[in-house]
Amino acid sequence: MMRQYELVDRVRRYNPQTDEVLLNRAYVYAMKAHGAQVRASGDPFFSHPLEVAAILTEYRLDDATIVAAMLHDTIEDTDSTREEIDRVFGPEIGGLVDGLTKLKRLDLVSKRAVQAENFRKLLLAIAADVRVLLVKLADRLHNMRTLHHMAAQKRARIAEETLDIYAPLAGRMGMQRLRDELEDLAFRHLMPDAYATIEERLNDIGRKNDLRISAIEKELAEALSAAGIKAEVRGRQKQPYSVWRKMERKSISFEQLSDIFGFRIIVDSDEACYRAIGIVHMRWPAVPGRFKDYISTPKPNDYRSIHTTVVGPGRQRVELQVRTNAMHDIASNGIAAHVLYKEGHVRANEGLNNESKAFQWLRRTIESLADGSSPEEFLEHTKLELFLDQVFCFTPHGRLIALPRGATAIDFAYAVHTDVGNTAAGAKINGLPAPLLTELRNGDEVEIACSEGQVPPSVWETLVLTGKARSAIRRATRDAMRAQYAGLGRQIVTRAFERAGKPFAEEKIKSALPRFARLSVEDVLAAVGRGEMFSGDVLKAVHPEIADDRKVVMPRLGNEAGWFRMKSNPPVVFRVPGISDEADLKLNPIEGFHFGLPVVFAPNGGAVPGDRIVAILARNESVTVYPIQSQELTLFDDKPELWFDARWDIGEDRGPVFASKLLITAINEPGTLGAIATVIGENGANIANVVIELLSPDFRSLTVDIEVSDLKHLSTIVSQLRARPVVSKVERVNG
């Protein structure tokens, strides 16, 4: 284990003004806090935070970051508290340590939700201070270096999490050297056989081509020197994980790889980069389509370099990268290069907004994803932002937009601005009209046409590629549905107030919000519109003095307040506004509602158990049950007093059957009707009626009335029908 003076010496080498007293105090504090704790390897636990601090000295980080590395597990794994860390080491270090501490006592239903919520907390802390990220990545790197001491199942989980989250995050922050080691270690544990095979092949090729690599290095160096360009030429071999990923992505064998080796040319200036690439292309022919200029167009993680592939000696393809020393520093250390200790201080977040596109991306990602998403959604969308190669497109004004490969014009619109995406109605790509779902290519100029009042279709969520677009679409869809429910709720509540002779006033509802456990009046109205809350409850909360004057004779269902069963067939139960107990069965008059009325289904399509249903009072003759998606319900939009919440009162065993209607578009050929009937019959459903209509010489339309037991039964039939080659489309008809 590293000793106290060794760590101080590491820091003093790049920071002669280091606060040795602070470093020594942190060393002693952490060692005492962790006490007799041991790691899975049997080593003292304190050896881990010490090694994390040592890794960070390689990046020449400031005293606060080194101290935070030594203390990063104290709040989580010892009796130390944030208040104590603040008192002993100051709020700056306390904030760093707290950002690295996992949330405790999370009452969540799955480990994935816990992982996601902790990851959200980590990213928010990183957005406040980027040094949290550097400590976290160093922490993960040391854990991966010692992963072989863990149990097999835990090794697999940690390695998979590293490949899914931390290695891509390091890559998006430009820390390629650290990313390569994380990927290499994770690959070694997740697929040991594949790793060993590829490593053996690479070593074998390296031995066989050692002389060739040296010859190419020498030839390149001499050619550049002859042209007056001072350059350092380095040969390099691909990492095992990089080789495996390319084989998987392109579905090729190891023998088909043509770029196992690459060369890096390091020069003094941007101008020398372009001169060097010219010398190379004059000496060896370039491979078409393999030239990329990331100096004039840097990657979003600040990476700058020129890439090319040439046909070199022996007709061998050779990959080349040309960059300056400063570019190489950024390419290797990424965002850490922006926070290096320099001239007596660390540049932490100071100036990062101007220096680091990677940090700007991180903050934008958090802002766009954190609002309103569940932890699982946040993790899913962040992964989408971390992965995939990129394409670079432009707005008509020349603004560069970087997107994942395979992204569409919709993704582009949301990358420009959330409002542009939400109102996108069409696109022009390179001046020509194109569908919004067109996949974009490098260099495309994209213009988005917008339409005010447009709401993004919910189906877009499954079609876009970026996490930002998916999150924004989900949020816009949710807001639109909420507004729709709030409008319906407003009508229902207004009518309830009118019946009670009271004026409807949002201010009075607002004053009663604590009783509703809602944040706003719109939330209350939306809850009423969704059937989660009832207008009588809102009325009573605002006007508790109103007395009920009418009794209702109806048996209450067990302990479920407000739900009552009618003697009726089909088995449906109702919730009556204002009733919560048989001992309190008074309410304002519900005009025309008599509980002895028969209950019937809507005639066109009806509902099956599993559907959300509502009941409509029909001219004091019956109560009609509709599925919530029925188009016929629009006829009652202006009559909210006729609406009653309802639900199914059916056990798990299959009892009665229920009518449903399917509209099937199928190929007009012999055997089509038989194939459809076979699917329905094999699933235990009955065909009550079939109406066939010829749509064209190629297609016919079949309206099929079938009898099923519940929604799951019906969904299974629909799914299997859609899978039949003769079926083009299946839709359920609801009223």
Reduced 3-state DSSP string for 12-27: HHHCCCCCHHHHHHHH
Q: Are 543 and 503 in contact (CB under 8 A)?
A: no
Residue 265 has pLDDT above 90, yes or no: yes
Specify whether the CB–CB gap between 717 and 657 falls below 8 A: no
Residue 581: pLDDT band with limits 50, 70, 90: very low
Q: Give the pLDDT of residue 596.
A: 58
Predicted confidence at residue 338, as pLDDT, reads 61
Residue 76: active-site member: yes
Q: Is 387 helix (H, G, I), strand (E, B) or coil?
A: coil
pLDDT of residue 71: 94
Please give the pLDDT value at position 185.
94
CA 15 to chain centre: 40
* pLDDT of the residue at 50: 93
pLDDT at residue 594 tops 60: no
Residue 727: band (very low, low, confident or very high) from pLDDT cuts 50, 70, 90: confident
**Domains of the chain listed by start with CATH number:** 4-190 (1.10.3210.10), 195-338 (3.30.460.10), 549-650 (no CATH), 658-733 (3.30.70.260)
pLDDT of the residue at 393 = 82
183-187, Cβ contacts within 8 angstroms, sequence gap of 24 or more: 183/239, 183/241, 183/242, 184/239, 184/240, 184/241, 185/144, 185/145, 185/147, 185/159, 186/144, 186/159, 186/160, 186/162, 186/241, 187/163, 187/240, 187/241, 187/244
Q: What is the pLDDT of residue 343?
A: 40
The active-site residue, picked from 20, 43, 58, 76, is 76
Can you give the three-state secondary structure of 221-255, one letter per residue?
HHHHHHCCCCCEEEEEECCHHHHHHHHHHHCCCHH
What DSSP line would sit under 138-192, residue for residue? HHHHHHHHTGGGS-HHHHHHHHHHIIIIIHHHHHHTT-HHHHHHHHHHHHHHH-H
Give the separation between CA 267 and CA 324, rounded to whole angstroms: 5
Per-residue model confidence (pLDDT) at position 126:
73
112-116, 281-285, 372-376, 597-601: which has the highest mean pLDDT? 281-285
- In this prediction, residue 616 carries a pLDDT of 81
The Cα diameter of the chain in Å comes to 104
Q: Please identify which of the residues 43, 77, 86, 380 carries the catalytic annotation.
A: 77
Task: Phi first, then psi: give them for residue 528, nearest 5 degrees.
Answer: -65, -45
How confident is the model at residue 171, as a pLDDT? 82
pLDDT confidence of residue 371: 52
Q: Which of 76-90, 630-644, 665-679 has the lowest mean pLDDT?
A: 630-644
Q: Say what the pLDDT of residue 108 is.
A: 40
pLDDT at 549 over 60: no
Q: pLDDT class for 249, splitting at 50, 70, 90? A: confident
- Per-residue pLDDT tens digits for 441-461: 877 889 999 988 778 887 888
Task: Quote the mean pLDDT of the chain.
Answer: 79
The pLDDT score that the predictor gives to residue 351 is 42
Predicted confidence (pLDDT) at residue 548 exceeds the cutoff of 70: no
What are the tens digits of pLDDT across the range 640-692? 767 777 777 665 555 567 888 899 988 887 888 988 999 998 888 889 889 99
| Residue 306 confidence (pLDDT) above 90 | yes
- Indicate the pTM of the whole model: 0.54
pLDDT tens per residue across span 354-383:
456 666 666 666 655 555 445 555 555 555
As a whole number, mean pLDDT of residues 712-728 equals: 86
Span of 40-49, 203-212, 331-340 with lowest mean pLDDT: 331-340
Q: Identify the pLDDT of residue 553.
A: 40
For residues 542-565, give the mean pLDDT: 52
* 549 carries an active-site annotation: no
Mean pLDDT of 512-539: 76
pLDDT at 565: 54
In this prediction, residue 407 has a pLDDT band, given cuts at 50, 70 and 90, of confident
